[in-house]
Amino acid sequence: MITMPELQWLRKLLHLNKPLIPDELWQTCIARFPFIRNLPDYDLQRLKLLSEELLHTKTITGAGGLEITDEIAVTIVAQAALLVLNLTLDLYKDMPGIVVYPSAFMVPRQQRDAAGVMHEWREALAGQAMSAGGTIALSWEDIISGADFWARRNVVIHEFAHKIDMERGNPNGCPPFLVNYHDGMQVRIWQQVFSAAFNDFSHRVHGFQHALPAMHDAQQDFLHHLHEPVRRPLPLDPYASTNPAEFFAVASEVFFVAPAQLIADYPQVYHLLARYYRQETIAYPTKLQH
C-alpha cells in the first residue's frame, strides 16, 4: 500500500504542481468505468497522479472537427495510466501524443495477393497505435461505448497495450520485461502460454464462423446482433484471433474490463497478465462488497 508521505513524494517527483485535475472532473470521468472507479482508494490516488503527468507530457489533439475538452482528455489519460499503474510511464516514452476523432476514422490499406496484384482500400478504425515514436489515434465514440460492461471492449486499453508491445520494435504479443518490475518472468514461458491460448482461441473462432449461415454484406450488422448471445461466451472479441499482437491487446482489454471469463477460459493468460501489469483485477469488484 502507498502511504500519504509516499504519495507526496511521488507528486514532487513527477512535478505535478502544474496540470492538477479538479476532483469533480476526475470523479465525473472515472464514474463511467467500473474497472476504474472500483479500484482501492490508494490506487485511485496514484492513478490520478500518473494521469496528471500524462496530461503534462503528452499532447492531445482533436481531428475531424472534434474539439478536445478537459473531460475528453482526462477520460483518455485515466485509462492509459491504468496499464502502467504499478509499472512506469517510461513505457510510453516514445509516444508524443494522442489524436482523437469524433468517431471511427478512415485509413488507407494495401496488400499484395499471391498473384502479385496490389489491392488498395480504406478501412474504418476505432483506434490505431503507430510504432517508432508514433502517436495513438482514437475514436471518442468508441471510447464512450467501451464504458458498456457487456461490450467487453476498450479501445484505449487496446491501443496503449499495443504501444507497450511496441517498446522494442514491431508488436508481437510479447511485451518488454522490465528489470525493476518483472523479476522472475521468462519470455519462454510467456510465449508458450500465449501461443497455446492464441491457437486454441483461433480454433474456437474458426469453428464459430463455420457454424454461421452464409450471408451477404448487407446482413452483417444484423448477423452481429443476432448471434451476440452465441458469441458472448467467448472470453475475447473474435478480433483477438487475427495475430499474436492483437491477442495480447484484446486479452489486456478483457483483463481490466471483464476478467472473470478470461480467468475461467485461460487462467494462465490471466495470471501472466496479472504478473506483468502487477495488478489482480479479478479482486476489485469483490472488495467493494465488504
Confidence band of 222 (pLDDT split at 50, 70, 90):
very low
Sign (positive or negative) of CA dihedral 122, 126, 130, 134: positive
Confidence band of 210 (pLDDT split at 50, 70, 90):
low
Sign (positive or negative) of CA dihedral 15, 19, 24, 28: negative
pLDDT of the residue at 206: 84
If one compares 245 and 169, the residue with the highest pLDDT of the two is 245
Name the grid cell of 241: 484471433
Q: What is the CA radius of gyration of the chain?
A: 19
Query: Which range marks the domain in which residue 73 is found?
Result: 4-108+120-288
Share of the chain above pLDDT 70, in %: 77
Which pairs with CB-CB distance under 8 Å and at least 24 residues apart come from 85-90?
A: 85/43, 85/46, 85/47, 85/50, 85/277, 85/278, 85/279, 86/181, 86/277, 86/278, 86/279, 87/178, 87/181, 87/277, 87/278, 88/178, 88/180, 88/181, 89/50, 89/53, 89/54, 89/57
Mapping DSSP to helix (H, G, I), strand (E, B) and coil, where does residue 268 land?
helix
pLDDT of the residue at 152: 75
Q: CA 49 from chain center: how many Å?
A: 19
State mean pLDDT over 141-152: 76
Residue 113 covered by a domain: no
CATH code for position 231: 3.40.390.10
Residue 115 covered by a domain: no
Cβ atoms 264, 283 nearer than 8 A: no
Which value, to the nearest 10 degrees, does the dihedral of the CA atoms of residues 33, 35, 41, 45 take? Answer: -70
Predicted TM-score (pTM) above 0.85: no
pLDDT of the residue at 43: 97
Residue 138 covered by a domain: yes
pLDDT tens digits, one per residue of 160-196: 999 999 988 889 999 999 999 999 999 999 999 999 9
Strand-by-strand arrangement of the 136-139 sheet? 59-62, 97-101, 136-139, 127-129
86: Cβ–Cβ under 8 A, 6 or more apart, which residues?
181, 277, 278, 279
Nearest to 240 by CA among 201, 189, 272: 201
Asked whether residue 133 carries a pLDDT value surpassing 90, the answer given is: no
If one compares 107 and 54, the residue with the highest pLDDT of the two is 54
Nearest to 262 by CA among 152, 172, 174, 155: 152
Distance CA 200, CA 195 (A): 9
Q: How many CA atoms lie within 13 A of 276 on its CB side?
A: 25
Nearest to 250 by CA among 227, 131, 259: 259
Cβ atoms 22, 48 nearer than 8 A: no
DSSP letter string, 183-249: TT--HHHHHHHHHHHHHHHHHHHHHHHHHSPP--GGGHHHHHHHTHHHHTTSSS-GGGGS-HHHHHH
Residue 55 covered by a domain: yes
pLDDT of the residue at 278: 97
Residue 11 covered by a domain: yes
Residue 114 covered by a domain: no
State mean pLDDT over 223-238: 61
Number of domains in the chain: 1
pLDDT of the residue at 123: 79
Residue 35 covered by a domain: yes
Residue 221 covered by a domain: yes
Asked whether residue 130 carries a pLDDT value surpassing 80, the answer given is: yes
Cβ atoms 217, 204 nearer than 8 A: no
